[in-house]
Structure 1
Amino acid sequence: MERPLRAVSSPLTVAVLTLLAEKARHPYDMKVTLRERHIAETVKMRGGSLYDTIARLERAGLLTPTETSRAGSRPERTVYAITEAGRKTLRELISEFVGEPINEFPRFVAGLAHLAVLTPAEAAALLRRRADHLAAESERAARELATAAPDLPRVVLLETEYLQRMRDCEIGWLRQTVADIEHGHVAWPEPESPSSPAQEEKRS
């Protein structure tokens, strides 16, 4: 039975199926390869999330175990291979992720929409702090890109390049916006004075 695409639609699903589309692998090999390719920038992997995803994809018929082996005293390792249904689903998911822009309701943009609740000084301080955090991340990512395994083709690092470019663009926008706020170039609503009890009584 075919599973609805949304039931397996996640960045980690795409990462696992992509690795298995290259060759059959065991989970530890997947984890090492994801780390080498800096996929952690786009995929959340906590605790047993990789193993949970593998189990879910196996139940959906998108991958299948091919062999189980043991090396010395190490735990058994099960090797998985992608199925034809898995290849079809992978292509559909990539087409959806890349070709169909959606509003993901980012938390930062939601905060910007209500920035006038703060004073200009408070807003500028928070935007500057965010820019500093992003600058540190940008430096770290640049070092990782510079030391990426030389045999990795650029195509498997495109998402890291993209995130780095987006980060640098945001830093530039944040720094400029902080300067505009501090120089009074961003109009700010005047805070309303609290009404006295007498004024409230007069209005009523």
Structure 2
Amino acid sequence: MLAVLSLLNEAPRHPYEMQSLIRQRRIGDVVRMRGGSLYDAVVRLEKLGLAEVAGTSRDGARPERTVYGITEKGRAELRSLLSEYLGERADEYPVFPAALAHAHQLGRAEAGGLLRERAAELAVLIDKVEEDLRSAREAAVPRAVLLETEYAQVLRRAELGWLRGVLADLETGDLEWVELEWVELEEA
């Protein structure tokens, strides 16, 4: 809801244009949106009185598209959400730290292998996002609309540095590991 309200607050848009901006600005890195969910979100916002049809547009021979705009009620909701999300610290429970709390249930080698895979994927993602940020800057995308991507990139880099340190400690033995045995239950 926040992403759609924010895009509509900038200018009236049709959902396809919003999808393009979400990709260009990498908003999908911080907001889960799939295929038709953007269209569903716009319909929900309209039903709630937060968005309204602002007209239609047509590009060349393409079909006519419905353009939506934000309502005053939508602007108030956007302001309320931003005030809450920016000003209040929230406890979040991502799955990776939860898995780290129990990683010792796996053997040192298995846990290390999984962490190495994660580090490799993270390094590739960091490079890809850096390329996307460079392209966005060259396209004169304002930095203010890329802040969440910059923030996520800082977190990725910090995680990668931390992972590399943990992996080094695993390899040298500086990280003590509790080796547990898996007990296979017999079927009754």
TM over 0.5: yes
- 2:102 matched to 1:114? yes
1:152 to 141, 153, 160: 141
Cα contact 1:121–1:182 (8 A) shared by 2: no
Q: How does 1:1-204 map to 2 (within 5 A)?
A: 13-71=1-59, 73-148=61-136, 149-191=138-180
The count of residues paired between Structure 1 and Structure 2 equals 182
Cα contact 2:107–2:179 (8 A) shared by 1: no
Give the Cα–Cα distance (whole angstroms) in 2 for the partners of residues 31 and 192 of structure 1. Answer: 49
Change (3 A) 1:193 1:85: closer
State the superposition RMSD in angstroms. Answer: 1.8
TM-superposition CA deviations, 1:21-41 (whole Å, max 9, x none): 111111122122222212121
Q: Which moved more, 1:98-107 or 1:69-78?
A: 69-78
Give the Cα–Cα distance (whole angstroms) in 1 for the partners of residues 76 and 44 of structure 2. Answer: 16
Corresponding residue of 2:186: none
Question: 5+ unaligned residues in a row in structure 2: which ranges?
Answer: 184-188
Q: Which moved more, 1:92-101 or 1:182-191?
A: 182-191
1:95 Cα deviation (Å)?
1.7
3-state DSSP of counterpart to 1:44: coil
Give the Cα–Cα distance (whole angstroms) in 1 for the partners of residues 144 and 182 of structure 2. Answer: 57
Question: 5+ unaligned residues in a row in structure 1: which ranges?
Answer: 1-12, 195-204
Q: TM-score, normalised by structure 2?
A: 0.89
Give the Cα–Cα distance (whole angstroms) in 1 for the partners of residues 15 and 149 of structure 2. Answer: 22
TM-superposition CA deviations, 1:103-153 (whole Å, max 9, x none): 221111111011111111111111111111100000001111111143211
Sequence identity of aligned pairs in percent? 52
1:71 Cα deviation (Å)?
4.7
Cα contact 1:24–1:82 (8 A) shared by 2: yes
Query: 4+ runs of 1 displaced by more than 6 Å?
Result: none
Bigger Rg over Cα:
1
